Structures are given as structure tokens and as C-alpha cells.
Amino acid sequence: MVEIVPLNKKWNYLRKILERSGPFQQETFEPSGEILEFLNNTCKILVIGAGGLGCELLKNFAMMGFKNIDVIDMDIIELSNLNRQFLFRRKDIGKSKAETAAEFINKRIAGCKVTPHFCKIQDYDESFYRQFHVIVSGLDSIVARRWINGMLISLVKYDDDGNPDVSTIVPMIDGGTEGFKGNARVILPTLSPCIDCTLDLYPPQVSYPLCTIANTPRLPEHCIEYVKVILWDKENPFNCALDGDDPEHLSFVFEKAQERANKFNITGLTYRLVQGVLKNIIPAVSSTNAVIAAICASEVFKIATSCYEYLNNYMVFNDIDGIYTYKYEAEKNPECLACSSKVRTIAIKNPSSMTLQDLIDYLCNNPEYQLKNPGLTTTLNGKNKTLYMSTVKSIEEQTRCNLTQSLHELNLSDGQELVIADVTNPNSIIVKLKFTDNEVEMY
């Protein structure tokens, strides 16, 4: 028989924390019944991602008294999701993750309202993100993390003395998992280190030289990339772009990659590896997701209620060999691309030999920048000039010739400022070129 809990006792476990004093409470905390009312009726939470972490987070928040929750995710449900993303069922395959997760929570938790957004985070502007009290990130993309990080920084207003107005700061709790390892961090935009401040913690995206893929493959990944990059466009088997979610496309890639692997005596090729390479899949473990989501939810609760000191500011979890966890305080980077007003300087040893393509490659491969697809503009003789931009076809065609020209040929001088737009940040960044004869390691 199911025990029916009276409505007035539903949140008793929260009242014990919020309506009485404790030895670990913040000095400014004043126990009150109004705090629970704030959680239930006023506090708005945005969960970014409805995957492994997102499902856990939505469940946690709904059962912790947060009734106004939004969730945003651009993905659809796949069969491989069902082993850990427990808000979905087989009948949901092909449906929106955000919409399905919201429907499940709304039906299961009385009084909870989860509003889904089946789109990219980039589809919304500042007015959308400004309405939330706390934002929780359960993303598996560094690019998306950096974009929302830049967006929240842009929301912060400053007073006449240049100090940030704390009332305009929207805290972000960022969680991430990979196999049996995970991390959680608390980010107060402009006050604490942001995603870009610790960008060197994220390894640059793995890429394989085209010459290796085409001529001397050594790894099964090389064989998969060969089919993806070269063979697919050459044979065009389905008269469409390669879709990593289409079983027929996956089977074609697997068969052709296996043929190439056999030709070069390469072992270790599997169907799962094909999926992983094509979709850049990160290993996921349910228990790790549950632990990191629980930590993130606890930090949101502490920030929303001010009942306890929140994490300052980075926590690492590892249960490969037993359970190991520790926390530390990361430091702000005074030259951070996102939260610092200081212009970054790029040292150029030989501007006569360094081409614009070399500069773009440097911005993409350097751990301190890790840009994805930068567009560069500058000011020459008082006029704006687009050096290169690939996102607009007509502009890309007009500026493509600049890629092979040296910085000198483009009339770029020492101290030249470049304005860079990239998908990793909703705002443009500025870098300054510094020509030097000193030895500078660019790669």
C-alpha cells in the first residue's frame, strides 16, 4: 500500500534546514519559512542539457522543492541513451529530450512546472537568460560551455567605479563527467574564475592529419576518418550529408572502414568505435552522473537559500580505484578572453612568413584560445576590413585569398588589434599583434 503523505508535511526535511539554525550555516543566514516559499513559488532554475546529467538534475530539483524549472536541449532521444537517461522510454526514441523530460517530471511531481526548450542555447538572447536565479550546466561540449559562460558575463552590469553590480550576476553551476571521473564548479561571473579562465584544463579537440588519414593510417580512428572525410563525399552513397544517428550511414562507414583496416592490418575497429568517432561520444556511467548531479543540486540549493557556504570553487570526483574527491580554489586569469578587459597579445616572430591561415591555426590549436572557427576583422586606414569569415558564404569566397597572404602582405602592423568572432563566445574578443625578433614558440 502506498503511504499518502499530507501536503503540509511534504517539505518537512527542508524545513529542518531552512527554519532553524545550524552549526555550519552562513553568518548572514536567518532561518525563516519564507525561504521555502521562495523555492516553491519564485526561484527560477535553468537546466542546460537533458542528457545523463540533465535527467538527474531535473529529478533532484523537482524533489527538492524547486517548482519553476526550465530545461533546454537541442538533441533527440536515441536507443543508446536509455541505459542511463531514466526519464526516457523506448517509445520516446526520436522525440525531443527537453520536451520528453519535462513531460515526465510534470506528470510525476505534483505542482512542479518544467518548461522545455527544444533548441540551441544560442537561439536565445540576454533577456531570456536574465530571468533565472541560477543556471546549471550539464553540457558535454566545451564550445557550448564557453558560449553560455560568455553570455552570463555579458549580463553583468557595472557601477560608476567599475565594480560589478552583484544584483545582475546570474550564478552558474557547471557539472561534467567522463566515465568514472567527474567535476563540479561554482561560477559567479566576473567574481570567480570562469570557464575560459581555466581553459587550459580542457585538451584541444583531437584531429588527425589528412596525409595520415589518406596515405599511412595506423589507428582504427584513421580508417573511420578516411570514410568520413574522403570516401563519403566521393561515393555519396545516400545522396545526403553523413548522419551519425542514421543506422544505414553507420553501417556503411563501419563496412568501408573495416575494409581499409584490413588492407593496412589495423585491428580494434568496432561498431561502437565508429559511433564514438562520428559523434564524438564521451563515455558515460550512471553512478558518476548521479554523484555529480547531486553535488550540483546541493550547490544550487545553498546558493538559492544562503543556508550554507557554497563550493569555492572547483571539486573533482574519481571512483576508478575506490572513491577519491577533493576541492580546490581555482584562480582568475587576469588575461582571460571572456572575463578580463585586458587585450591579449600574440607575439609574432616573422610577420613576413606567417600567413593568415597560420594565425587562424594558432588561435584554434593553442590551449589558451581553443577557438573553433574564428572570423577576423580589423581597422586599416580608418576603415573596417574583414580579413576572413567562413560563416557567411559570400564573405568567405571574397576573403579566402587572404588565407595564403602573409601578415605583412595584408598590411598588418606591430600593435594591430584584431576583432575575433567565434562560436565559443557570444561577444567578440580583441587581440593585439606584437611583432618581435625574439624566439616565440607558436606550435
Distance CA 210, CA 217 (A): 10
- Taking the C-alpha atoms of residue 226 and residue 254, their distance in angstroms, rounded to an integer, is 11
Given phi > 0 = left and psi -120 to 50 = alpha, else beta, which region is 251? alpha
* Residues 40/65, Cβ–Cβ less than 8 Å: yes
Query: Is the alpha carbon torsion for 269, 274, 280, 285 positive or negative?
Result: negative
Q: Which of 43, 211, 223, 336 is catalytic?
A: 211
Whether 352 and 191 have beta carbons less than 8 Å apart is answered as no
The edge-to-edge listing of strands for the beta sheet with 417-422 is: 344-348, 425-435, 417-422, 375-380, 383-388
**H-type alpha helices, 283-430:** 286-305, 356-365, 393-399
Task: Give the separation between CA 395 and CA 111, rounded to whole angstroms.
Answer: 51
Exposed (0-12), middle (13-18) or buried (19+): which is 69, by Cβ within 10 Å?
buried
- Kindly state the cell numbers that stand for 98: 527537453
Instruction: Output phi, psi for 216, to 5 deg.
Output: -130, 65
Beta pairing partners, 23: none
Does the annotation count 211 as an active-site position? yes
Burial level of 274, CB count in 10 A (0-12/13-18/19+)? buried
**Bridge-partner residues for 325, per DSSP?**
317
CA atoms within 13 A on the CB side of 231: 19
> CB under 8 Å to 37, separation ≥6 — which residues?
none
Distance between CA atoms of residues 212 and 195, nearest Å = 33
* Cell reading at 132: 533565472
Q: Is the separation of the CB atoms in 396 and 308 below 8 Å?
A: no
**Location of C-alpha cell 536515441:** 78
Phi and psi torsions of 96, nearest 5°? -65, 135
Active site residues: 211
